[in-house]
Structure 1
Amino acid sequence: MLDVWAFAISVFTGLFAITNPIANVPVFLGLTEGAGRVEKHRINKKATFTAFMIILLFTLLGKFIFDFFGITIPAFKITGGLLIFYAGFRMLQSKKSNLKTLEQVDVDENIAISPLAIPLIAGPGTIVTTMNFVTDATYLYIGIVIAIAALICWMNYLAFNYSTFIVEKIGNNIITVIGKIMGLIIAIIGTTMVVDGLKLAF
Structure 2
Amino acid sequence: MNLNFKEIATASMILFAVIDIVGSIPVIISLRSKVGHIQSEKASIVAASIMVAFLFVGERILSLIGIDVNSFAVAGSFIIFFLAIEMILGITLYKDDMPESASIVPIAFPLIAGAGTMTSLLALRAEYHVENIIIAIILNIIFVYIVLKSSAKIERVLGNIGLSIIRKVFGVILLAIAVKLFAANINQLFQHGV
Pick aligned residue for 2:142 from 147, 154, 171: 154
Correspondences of 1:11-26 after superposition (within 5 Å): 11-26=11-26
Residue 173 (str. 1) matches residue 161 (str. 2): yes
For residue 88 of structure 1, what is the aligned residue in structure 2? 84
Alignment RMSD (CA, Å): 2.6
Q: TM-score, normalised by structure 2?
A: 0.86
Over residues 29-56 of structure 1, what are the superposed CA-to-partner deviations in whole Å (9 max), with x where a residue is unaligned? 21111666xx43xx11121111111111
Q: Assess, with a 3 A threshold, how the Cα gap between structure 1 residues 135 and 70 changes in structure 2: closer, same or farther.
A: farther
1:179 corresponds to which letter in structure 2? R
For residue 145 of structure 1, what is the aligned residue in structure 2? 133
Q: Assess, with a 3 A threshold, how the Cα gap between structure 1 residues 4 and 164 changes in structure 2: closer, same or farther.
A: same
Over residues 164-192 of structure 1, what are the superposed CA-to-partner deviations in whole Å (9 max), with x where a residue is unaligned? 11111111111111111111111111111
1:22 corresponds to which letter in structure 2? V
Give the gaps of 5 or more residues in structure 2.
Answer: none
Residue 116 (str. 1) matches residue 104 (str. 2): no
| Cα drift, residue 95 of structure 1 | 5.0
2:9 corresponds to which letter in structure 1? I
Task: Please say if residues 3 and 132 of structure 2, whose CA atoms lie closer than 8 Å, have aligned partners that are also in contact.
Answer: no
Give the gaps of 5 or more residues in structure 1.
Answer: none
Task: Please say if residues 87 and 183 of structure 1, whose CA atoms lie closer than 8 Å, have aligned partners that are also in contact.
Answer: yes
Percent identity between the aligned chains?
24
Correspondences of 1:21-60 after superposition (within 5 Å): 21-33=21-33, 39-40=37-38, 43-60=39-56
Moved over 4 A (4+): none
Alpha-carbon distance in structure 2 between the residues aligned to 1:120 and 1:158: 15
Q: Assess, with a 3 A threshold, how the Cα gap between structure 1 residues 165 and 136 changes in structure 2: closer, same or farther.
A: closer
